[in-house]
Amino acid sequence: MDVSNEVPIIRIEDGAHHVCHYTLSFTICRGFYSHETHQALFLSKATLSSSSACSSSSASPTTMPFISKIHRQSDYNLFSSATPIVIDNGASYFRIGWAGESDPRVIFRNIVQRPRHKITGETVTIVGDHDPALLKYFDCTRSGPRSAFDSNVVYQFETMEYILDFGFDRMGANGSGIDHPVLITECVCNPVQSRSKMGELLFETYGVPSIAFGVDAAFSYKYNQQRGVCDKDGLAMCLGFNTTHVIPFVDGEPIYKGSCRTNIGGYHVTDYLKQLLSLKYPHHMARFTWEKVEDLKMEHCYITPDYASEARLFQKGAKEAEEKTRCWQLPWVPPPTEEPPSEEEIARKAAIKERNGQRLREMAEAKRSSRINELENELHGLEFLLRQLEQVEERNIPSFLAETGYVSRQEIESARGKASQSLRKAKGEPKSEQAETEADPATNEKFALVNIPDYMLTPDQIIEKKKQLSIKSMFEGRQRLKQKRHEEELERERKQQLEEEKRLENPELYLEQLHAKYKDLSEKINQRKRLKTNGGGHTNGNNLSGNVGRGERLNAAQRERMRLLTTAAFDRGKGEDTFGARDEDWQLYKLMSKDNDDDDEGPDQDETELARISSRLQDLDPTFVPKSEASTSQPAEVPRSRPLTKEDFQIVFGVERFRCPEILFSPKWIGVDQVGLDEMAGVTIRRLPFKDESLEERLTSSILVTGGSSLYPGIVERLEAGIRMIRPCGVPIKIVRALDPVIDAWRGAAAYASAPEFYTQTFSKMDYYEKGEDWLRSYQPKYSL
Amino acid sequence: MEAEIVEAELVLPSYFSFKKVQMYEKYPKGQSRGRHWKHLKQIIQAENYQNYPPDEPNYVNIESPPSMHPCKRICDITGFEAPYYDPRTNLRYANTDVFKIVRSLPNDYVQRYLSLRNAQVVLK
């Protein structure tokens, strides 16, 4: 099946020649995958033409906040053991660096792969994202990339350990142990099991002197608050990889009591886009790798102010929609065009064909002449035998015949007759016509006895007469049939002449009439077929769509039969069995029997007429193409046979661009029954333990959106519209995007860890073991230092 | 190992001087360890949140409630607004053209479309 035709392909006029250069408000490119995007071209559908093509990776290196940085740092030993190491342990990216610096030193995707080396067969560990070209030496089919996260909670500490190993290693650690305090982020209300496992890992395995845990969204909010982007009272909306949080801040401290979490994030958006594209283009499924789709998402997805109206725009195929449709041209090499054979080639082929034909003809001629020769010889032999036989005396005949192998004179004669007949045939002389015309005058003699009454005949003659009678009636029947055929031929010729006259009179009108007739007939036949399969039109009138798809394999008669069988089977034992009391009951078996099917009537009159008209149309009208039945019943068959074109290698996505991020606002679309982003603000305010209208106003007038998914263009406007709907009329609403939604959490954490009071918020290994689990559960750092 | 892999330091070494306990000491080779981790569901169960006061925020009770707004229904295939739904496949569709596609979809595609919104038929 082919789903690709579900979106109306927009024809592109070759008029627009300006190179499309849509600038997005963000351009993100993951370092190692950027070369992949160079292969494929992204075209704005509206400006798509052979001459205007632009590469998607127009990102300049300075505006790439998301790039993986995995170079090993060399200055690890220059930092004193008092400088904390700051880790933003996000579900998608792991960022690690030094407190007080502006950027993390090492960034990589928070995944671990454990493929097998193809040659040596040993299982190796690969952390983060690497140049995919290097992975060709490994067999990655057994295990895909693994994450240490379940939702937003770390649960696989073996994987976490590999990631920490890699992170510390790339930081340049080479002493015995990590002799620096560590600040590591975790999710809001992290289960204590996960928190204590993380503490245990850092203390026991790496020898970290002290640890602090903090929430990434809070660090991001604090960072932006310090730069005046948001106030000390406000809401932090953090759109993470697996989850989305809204956390209220009062006096610069997060109130977790009022926070809420919806289990939707960037992962779900990418996954949704991936699934939708693979369903839409099943032939290109292998193209939609996770990394590729993530790039597509980051480059092309946006959030509309109003989903319904935007979707309607696309449904109507409006001009704006056309401009918003993006098209990804997959690498495609046009198939080699077959050149028409040259004159000489044609001549040469014709000569070969002619020569072969000549040879065959000669062979056939030789065979024929040898056969004629043979037959003539046989005939001569037989005639000679007959002449000899005449000379032989009566009593010597048997002995003479015994020598020849024939039994009687009649047999020889019949053999001679046969031989002469086949000789005539071989020579190509007509025989039957002659025979019949010859027979004509003899008819009366042949049937001499027919007209003589029975009483005048001997019993033998009566038998003979009966024979003659039957032969005569047969003969007459044949004559009649011949006559009829002849008459029909005449009639047809007359009709053809009539039509020809009509055609010559007014060719256009004639053609038109013929077309109309063809249409009528074909519709009539189709209708009949449909009725046959659908059982007499009780399909609520949706004939067209009713006969496609599942469940309609039986025709009406077969269905009726199945119904009778099932009722007969389940009718047993229900009350008194009166079957057979009436004679009509037994008719049931007749109806049930298979012979009742009467759908093979053979081609009827309409069909032959249709065939005639279509052949005539084909003669007269070169543009006429008869509608084949296959095209109506199996539409999937047709595209397969046609050669693949450039369009088949285009991934067109229009609605998907805003449909996928829309799940952040309607989680129900992917089966998550929780409030969307705009409603979350309302939920948070309701959950706050104190009712204070001025506080609520302060909260909504300082809403910060942060996290990777807040990069979609249009999210701020959309959120504002959504929150305005759920808040009382006239309250101030101000929504701002974080300065850098991706790195801000780490930067905030780095700034926090560099503060002199940071040490009051950490705990040591001794604290960890002495204070117990309940203390760890209630551990919460103070964010305003 | 190939030179370019070694150069890119693609493979994580098994020994690090900064670790007190190496990976191979923690998880010796050739020993089946079984499952040594818990799923999030099991972690939450072990937290025994019911023993703590309900007004104390925890991982479970900060979760968002179901939406109070009526759900916008969109066509499963095209993403347009979907006023109709097909009782045979349970797919929502926008218009007759989409309906034709819906009816000609093979069953596994129908199920994949349904699984997008977690409404597929689950065999137990």
| Nearest CB partner across the interface for B81, out of A175, A311, A667 | A311
d(CA B119, CA B124): 14
* Chain-centroid distance, C-alpha A784: 54
Q: Are strands A54-55 and A41-44 parallel, antiparallel or unpaired?
A: antiparallel
Predicted confidence (pLDDT) per residue in A402-432, tens digit: 777 777 778 888 888 888 888 888 887 655 5
Q: Which residue has the tokens 């099917």?
A: A597
A279 vs B112: CB contact, 8 Å cut-off?
Answer: yes
* Percent of residues, chain B, with pLDDT higher than 90: 52
Closest to A518 in 3D by CA, of A603, A616, A605, A623: A616
| Mutation for A interface: B1, B29, B61, B62, most A CBs within 10 A | B62
Q: How far is CA A488 from the centre of its chain?
A: 54
Closest CA to A614 of A523, A519, A525, A499: A519
**CA A558, CA A596: separation in Å to the nearest integer?**
9
- Contact (CB<8Å) A191/B43: yes
Q: How far apart are the first and last CA of chain A?
A: 62
Q: How far apart are CA A307 and CA A662, in angstroms?
A: 8
CB contact under 8 A, A279 and B113: yes
| CA Rg value for chain B | 26
pLDDT at A602 over 60: no
What is the model's pLDDT at position A595?
56
User: ipTM higher than 0.85?
Assistant: yes
| Confidence at A192, pLDDT banded by 50, 70, 90 | very high
Joined tokens for residue A459: 């019993």
Distance of residue A744 Cα from the nearest chain B Cα, in angstroms = 24
A446 confidence band (pLDDT: 50, 70, 90): low
Contact list, A548 vs chain B (CB under 8 Å):
100, 103-104
From residue A730, alpha-carbon distances to A14, A33, A235, A254 in Å are: 50, 47, 18, 26
- Give every CB contact of residue A294 below 8 A, 6+ residues apart in sequence: A30, A270
Helix (H, G, I), strand (E, B) or coil at A315: helix
- Residue A126 vs residue A13, higher pLDDT: A126
pLDDT at A615: 82
Q: Which residues contact A185 (CB under 8 A, 6 or more apart)?
A: A87, A88, A89, A90, A213, A214, A215, A216, A219, A745, A749
Residue A69 per-residue DSSP state? B
**Which of A234-248, A438-452, A554-568 bottoms out in mean pLDDT, i.e. has the lowest?**
A438-452
State the Cα–Cα distance between residues A192 and A657, nearest whole angstrom. 39
**Which among A596, A64, A94 has a CA at the least distance from the CA of A299?**
A64
Q: Give buried/exposed letters for A517-549 (b at 16+ CB in 10 A, else e).
A: ebeebbeebeeebeeebbbeeebeeeeeebbbb
Mean pLDDT of A655-665: 93
Instruction: Kindly report the nearest CA distance between residue B31 and chain A, in angstroms.
Output: 15
Interval A79-85 mean pLDDT? 93
* Residue in A178, A260, A636 nearest the CB of B62: A260
pLDDT for A144: 84
- pLDDT in the model for residue B30: 76
Note the pLDDT of residue A741: 93
**In 3-state terms, what secondary structure has residue A645?**
coil
| Weakest-pLDDT range from A262-266, A370-374, A538-542, A556-560 | A538-542
Q: B38 and A668: CB-CB below 8 Å?
A: no
A182-186/A210-215 β-pairing? parallel
Determine contact, residues A422/A412, Cβ cutoff 8 Å: no
Give yes or no for residue A254 having a pLDDT over 50: yes
Q: Does residue A616 have a pLDDT over 90?
A: no
Minimal Cα–Cα distance from B123 to chain A, Å? 18
Residue A436 pLDDT greater than 70, yes or no:
no
Partnered with residue A249 across adjacent β-strands are A234, A254
Q: And the tokens for A120? A: 């040596």
Tell me: the pLDDT tens digits for B50-73? 999 988 899 999 999 999 888 889
Say how far apart CA A91 and CA A190 lie, in whole Å: 13
Q: List pLDDT tens digits, range A726-777.
A: 988 888 999 999 999 999 999 999 999 999 999 999 999 999 999 988 899 9
Q: Tell me what the pLDDT averaged over chain A comes to.
A: 81
Chain B residues close to A164, C-beta within 8 Å: none
Q: Which of B12, B57, B109 lies nearest to residue A279, judging by beta carbons?
A: B109
Q: Please give the average per-residue pLDDT across A215-243, as a whole number.
A: 94
Give the pLDDT of residue A37. 37
Contact A173 B18 (CB under 8 A): yes
State pLDDT tens for residues A4-53.
443 333 333 333 333 333 333 333 333 333 333 333 444 444 433 333 33
Question: Residue A254, Cβ neighbours under 10 Å: how many?
Answer: 22
Q: Tell me the residue length of chain B.
A: 124
| pLDDT of the residue at A399 | 76
What gap in Å lies between CA B74 and CA B80, rounded to an integer?
Answer: 5
Question: What pLDDT is stored for residue A596 in this prediction?
Answer: 54
Answer whether A73's CB lies under 8 Å from A104's CB: no
Q: Name which residue leads in pLDDT, A588 or B41.
A: B41
Å between B89 CA and nearest CA of chain A: 10
- For residue B39, the chain A residue with the least C-alpha distance is A155
Q: By mean pLDDT, which of A293-302, A389-398, A436-445 is the weakest?
A: A436-445
**Nearest-Cα residue of chain A relative to residue B72:** A666
Does the predicted model carry a pTM greater than 0.80? no
At A237, which helix (H) or strand (E)?
strand A234-239
Q: What are phi and psi of A698, to 5 degrees?
A: -65, -40
Query: 3-state class of B5 per DSSP?
Result: helix
pLDDT at residue A38, rounded to an integer: 37
What average pLDDT does range A501-530 have in this prediction?
Answer: 84
What is the pLDDT, as a whole number, of residue B4?
82
Which residues, 6+ apart, have CB-to-CB distance to A417 below 8 Å? none
Question: What's the pLDDT score for residue A8?
Answer: 38
Determine whether B49 is exposed, middle or buried from the number of CB atoms within 10 Å of its CB (0-12, 13-18, 19+): middle
Average pLDDT over residues A541-552: 44
Is A653 strand, coil or helix?
strand
Residue with tokens 């569901």: B41
Residues of A in contact with B40 (CB under 8 A): 150-151, 153, 155
Tell me the shortest Cα–Cα distance from B97 to chain A, in angstroms: 8
Cα–Cα distance measured from residue A105 to residue A445, given in angstroms and rounded to the nearest whole number: 122
Indicate if the pLDDT at residue A634 is higher than 50: no
Using DSSP bridges, classify how beta strands A182-186 and A85-89 pair: parallel, antiparallel or unpaired.
Answer: parallel
DSSP letter for B124, please: -
Position A44 scores a pLDDT of 43
Quick one: pLDDT at residue A626?
Answer: 64
Indicate whether A612 pLDDT > 90. no
The verdict on a CB contact (< 8 Å) between A207 and B1 is: no
